[in-house]
Structure 1
Amino acid sequence: MKHMKKGSRWPVNPVVWVIVALLVILGGYKFFYPNHVEPEHTTARQSSSTKVIDVEEGSSSAKKATTKKHKHKSSKDKLWTKKQDAKLAAFISDWQQTMGQSYTGTNSGSSVTFQGVTLPDYLSTGTIYVNQQPVTMKWTTNKKDGSDYQVVAAYAGTQYLYLFTFHQQTPEVLVTSQAASDGVNFKVTENAQLVNGFQNIVNGQSESTNSSQQ
Structure 2
Amino acid sequence: MKKLITVVASLALLLTLGACGQKQSSSSAKNSQYSAKNAKTVSEDQGKDSSANKQGEMQKDTALWNDRKDEKLADFMRSWAPTMGQSYKKYDGHTPLHSSVGLNYPADLSREVVEGGGTIGWAPSGKGDYDYNVVAIYNYDGTKPPLPNRITYFFAFHNGHPVALVDQSRDGEPHCHPTANKDVSSNFTRIADQH
TM more than 0.5? yes
Segment drifting more, 161-170 vs 56-65: 56-65
Rounded Cα–Cα distance in structure 2 between residues aligned with 1:43 and 1:153? 64
Which structure would you say has the larger Rg? 1
Q: Is structure 2 residue 71 aligned with structure 1 residue 81?
A: no
Q: Is structure 2 residue 169 aligned with structure 1 residue 178?
A: yes
Partner in structure 2 of residue 64 of structure 1? 49
Rounded Cα–Cα distance in structure 2 between residues aligned with 1:75 and 1:202? 14
Q: CA deviation at 1:166?
A: 0.6
Partner in structure 1 of residue 98 of structure 2? 112
1:153 to 1:71, Cα distance in 2 relative to 1, 3 A:
same
Rounded Cα–Cα distance in structure 2 between residues aligned with 1:122 and 1:43? 71
**Matched-pair contact (CA < 8 Å) for 1:140–1:151:** yes
1:148 to 1:102, Cα distance in 2 relative to 1, 3 A:
same
Partner in structure 1 of residue 145 of structure 2? none
1:135 to 1:114, Cα distance in 2 relative to 1, 3 A:
farther
Rounded Cα–Cα distance in structure 2 between residues aligned with 1:138 and 1:90? 23
Q: Deviations over 1:40-71 (max 9, x none)?
A: 51452243233233233223312421331242
Q: Deviations over 1:161-184 (max 9, x none)?
A: 111111111010011221432x22
1:39 to 1:104, Cα distance in 2 relative to 1, 3 A:
closer
Partner in structure 1 of residue 4 of structure 2? none
Question: So what's the TM-score if we normalise by structure 1?
Answer: 0.68
Which of 193, 198, 202 is the aligned partner of 2:192?
Answer: 202
Task: Considering fraction of residues, name the structure with more helix.
Answer: 2
Give structure 2 stretches of 5+ with no counterpart: 1-10, 143-149
Provide the secondary structure at the position in 1 that maps to 2:194: coil
**Matched-pair contact (CA < 8 Å) for 1:104–1:156:** yes
Give structure 1 stretches of 5+ with no counterpart: 1-27, 206-214
Q: CA deviation at 1:114?
A: 4.4
Rounded Cα–Cα distance in structure 1 between residues aligned with 2:61 and 2:126? 8
